[in-house]
A and B are shown apart, each in its own frame.
Chain A
Amino acid sequence: MVSVEQVEGRTDYPFLRQNSGSDQSKDHQVTLKGVKIHLYKLGIIAKGNGACGCFPCTATDSQSLLDSVLLSQWEDRAWKGQLKYDVTTCQTKVINGEKKFVVQLNERWNSLFLEEFENSFLQPLGPISSNHIKSHKENVLFCVSQGEKESSEVVLSTMLPKDGILIIANANPVEYGHVFLVPYNINRLPLFLDKKMVELILRTAVEVNSSSFHVFFDSIISNRSDHIIFQASYFANPLPVELFPTVPVYADTHRTGIHICEVADYPLKTLVFMSNNLNSLSNIITEICSNLRDHGSAFNLLITDCGTKIFLFPQVQSVIMDRPISTWECGGYFVYGTKFGFDNASETEILKRMASVSLDDSSFQSLKHLCCSIAVNLFL
């Protein structure tokens, strides 16, 4: 829940708006004055211990605190009718075939939900300000940021910290608990997938500690706006891609703890990065994604297994599709807006769609080599 008081603050975009007329103020806190939010403060990981300290889900026998916070806030908005529809009323089924793709019938599905969110919530220029929060305060659930104590804690109705991740309910959910994760820093615009941001996202996944919690990133969308938006949702059954066999490509158990595999027999060429060492994982993904972005290559990321496993789905422009496919589609989960489409969904049709955006063999081979060389030269 967010409450906002009317306050006169100076808007401050130090990097942009050369002709704003206002002084470059040192007091950036003023930008967010009056915004109160629930805050989840992550505990500090002991120095020198790069590992997150927990094995993949479910490391503990009980629901984590962050999981409780996220689900309770989401359920609260759902109950209050602030979402466009109850996604749990949507029928889902597994399609006949050996790939076991999953399809959902959702006649209220809005395929432009992400663009609309960007346009309404995020300004094209400028870091997050109180105006952002004000306009969407009902769906802003809470904020995650790095705390100063050893253990994590929840602080209700407090000041928004100067940087962190805003967790915002998606009113057009693909599944239960669908949220936007928007990293922010009131002093500057986020740089494309910088290491600190990826680390914070991974730490959030680790802290939620639920095998159902999946985090998504679509690079194609991010290229359009200056803000980086992650998404997350709860899929209690693993996405189809998670059940496919993998072939190892690279393994370095001792120094970085990173394993890289490729997914076998899958229509979309996919790499998987696994490590219990959060530092290594965020390092390698950040470098690879920067590299891909510099080359203008589009990709999707799927983070699973409590923040210890990342699927990389590189995409090319498709000749048969008018838009790139979303991350859950890369994972084998498709939403149909009409009963006709849903009833006639076939594995053949889906295979064609996925294959049309997949890299070819030689491009994929180059990507594998790139990832290996980055992994080998990884500076921790």
Chain B
Amino acid sequence: MGSNSVRDRLVDQSLTSRYSQWVLEALDELEDPFLITDPAIAGHPIVFASRGFLAMTGYAFGEVLGRNGRIFQGPATDRRSVMEIREAIREERTVQISILNYRKDGTPHWILFHMCPIFGAEDGRVLHFVAVQVPISKRRSRCGVERCGAVLGTCREEVRLDKDLDCSHHAREVFVDMDSRGLEAKEPQMAGDQEKEKAANAINCILLALNRYSKMTGRVVCGKRCGSAGSGVASLPSSLNISLGRIKQSFVLTDPHSPDMPIVYASDAFLSLTGYSRQEVLGRNCRFLNGPGTDYEVLKEIKKSIHGQQSCTVRLLNYRKDGSSFRNLLHISPVRNASGKIAFYVCVQMDESSKNIDNGLSPEMWQLGAVGAVKVAVRSLSSSAGPSRPSQ
């Protein structure tokens, strides 16, 4: 499908378009295991994996490029840790956590996962996440409750105190009977100061490299949010980008609070349908899709609905970049955020001549399914731009 190769190209160019092509060489010189991901591409994929990372995990570069970081998780990976990482991404902040990951051959290993966001200097938008993964050397696990996952030591003590109760006896048996080969890997390993220092140093090196090379393209990045500029398109928080990336229909989000209601998000399917690139549509009003055959009455109807903050479905003739036209089944709906106020309008397009819905849904259902998903995603935001909770 067309959008796949578009996506592949986005993944390939994610770093070079921002930091120039020399950044890849510079990153290759760094020994530590790390990944760089791009939250603006559907699926929040890996756009770079260091040699150290590939050596540690046994994967080849091509096997991880474009995939999501969850492929390194497995059955014994603590769900809480996964959730903490997810929350850090959503809140666009740094996280440092011990987590159990899996190599290509399926063997588990404990790593100190240290991730931090990279912000664009001019708009404060998160461009990439850098995740350094330092292997934790095996040592005796300590008792005590830590935030980094299951600690069996505490349980054993709890169980020992209740000697007279049957179930505790059984529970102890369950712990003891666990396969000792697996036990070692599943015993949580706490990262020591050595590992934490290694991670912090690695992050700094990567940040330095990215900052230096971003100056070559004139689009500087930094490790801290430098404050968003007033001009240009309102930046969407990366969590919203990630949620929207899951929606496969053609749609755009427009910002009713900015002059001329510009497009602030365009799905890959929209770009495939219309033939435009993302840079060509962001910041522009949707009217570039209209042309000589577009019915003026329909446009008036759309305007009326938007003024009345109502949803509407219309059919109109629209035009692709190459000038060809298509009958567009268009649904427009206001989308509100957590404060109850309208944050965006969602416009879902469907080419009426294409027969590409093969999942049993009617065209209307297919469109409304996208609308619903957008509404759920945007409802999580506390304001129309920026992360939903204050950064730490």
Interface of A toward B, CB cutoff 8 Å: 55-56, 58-59, 61-63, 65, 67-76, 79, 86, 88-94, 153-156, 175-177, 210-212, 234, 236-238, 242-243, 245-254, 257, 259, 264, 274, 276, 305, 308-309, 369-370, 372-373, 376-377
- Assess whether B371 is in contact with A372, with CB atoms less than 8 Å apart: no
- Chain B, range 341-378, C-beta contacts under 8 Å to A: 359-362, 364-373, 375-377
- B246 and A63 contact, CB distance less than 8 A: yes
How long is the Cα–Cα vector from A88 to B361 in the complex, in angstroms?
25
Asked if B311 lies at the interface with its beta carbon under 8 angstroms from chain A, I say yes
B186 within 8 A of A: yes
**Nearest chain A CB to B47 CB, angstrom units:** 15
Q: Find out whether the CB atom of A72 lies under 8 angstroms from the CB atom of B369.
A: yes
Chain B residues within 8 Å of chain A by Cβ, number: 68
A65 contact set on B, CB distance < 8 A? 359-361
Q: Identify 7 new A-B residue pairs, CB closer than 8 A, beyond the known A156-B362, A176-B379.
A: A63-B369, A72-B364, A75-B371, A86-B336, A88-B375, A248-B154, A373-B170
Known A67-B373, A245-B80; contact A61-B379, beta-carbon cutoff 8 A: no
> Is residue B1 contacting chain A, with contact meaning CB distance below 8 A?
no
Query: Min CB distance, B341 to chain A, in Å?
Result: 8
Partner of A55 from the list B70, B182, B247, B361 (CB cut-off 8 Å) is: B70
The answer, among B162, B373, B379, for a CB contact under 8 Å with A63, is B373
Contacts of A93 on B, CB cut-off 8 Å?
338-339, 382
Complex Cα gap A277–B388 (Å): 33
Q: Is the Cβ of B145 less than 8 Å from the Cβ of A247?
A: yes
- The answer to whether B171 and A376 have CB atoms under 8 Å apart is yes
CA distance A93 to B390 in the complex (A): 13
Residues of B within 8 A of A73 (CB): 365, 368
- Chain A residues lying within 8 Å of B75, measured Cβ to Cβ, are 253, 257, 276
B377 x A236 contact (CB < 8 A): yes
Determine the chain B residues whose CB is within 8 A of the CB of A70 once the complex forms. 372
C-alpha spacing A125/B169, complex, angstroms: 45
B361 touches A91 (CB 8 A): no
Q: Determine whether the beta carbon of A153 is less than 8 Å from that of B152.
A: no
**A373 proximity list for chain B (CB < 8 A):** 166-167, 170
- List 9 interface pairs A-B (beta carbons < 8 Å), by A numbering: A59-B70, A68-B359, A72-B368, A155-B360, A156-B361, A250-B174, A253-B182, A264-B145, A369-B165
**A88 to B379, Cβ gap below 8 A?**
yes
Least CB distance, B344 to chain A, in whole angstroms: 12
List the 4 closest pairs (A to B, CB-CB), nearest first. A71-B372, A68-B369, A236-B380, A373-B167
Interface residues of B in 117-155 (CB under 8 A from A): 145, 147, 150-152, 154-155
A156 touches B152 (CB 8 A): no
A-B contact count (CB 8 A): 178
Partner of A248, one of B152, B178, B379: B152
Contact between chains at B365 and A56 (CB < 8 Å): no
Distance from B163 Cβ to chain A, minimum over Cβ atoms (Å) = 13
Contact of B76 among A92, A211, A253, A305 (CB under 8 A): A253
Q: B290 contacts the other chain (Cβ, under 8 Å)? A: no
A248-B35 Cα distance, complex, nearest whole Å: 31
B87, CB-defined interface residue at 8 Å: yes
Q: Is the CB of A92 within 8 A of B338?
A: yes
- When distances are taken between beta carbons in the complex, the residues of chain A under 8 Å from B379 are 88, 175-176, 234, 236
Asked if B171 and A69 sit within 8 Å, CB to CB, the answer is no
Expressed in whole angstroms, the Cα–Cα distance for A344 and B70 within the complex equals 42
A156 → chain B closest CB, angstroms:
7
Given the known A-B contacts A72-B369, A253-B186, are A376 and B360 also in contact in the complex, defined by CB atoms under 8 Å?
no
Query: Whole-angstrom distance between the alpha carbons of A274 and B75 in the complex?
Result: 12
Interface status of B389 (Cβ within 8 A of chain A): yes
B369 and A67 within 8 A (CB) = yes
User: Known: A175-B379, A242-B83, A305-B79. Contact between A376 and B170, CB under 8 A?
Assistant: yes
A220 to B339, CA, bound (A): 32
Contacting pair B380 A237 (CB below 8 A) = yes
Give the contacting residue for A72; candidates B246, B333, B372; CB below 8 A.
B372
Q: A72-B361, A74-B372, A248-B154 are in contact. Are A369 and B162 (CB under 8 A)?
A: yes
Residues of B within 8 A of A79 (CB): 311, 333, 368
| B235 within 8 Å of A (CB atoms) | no
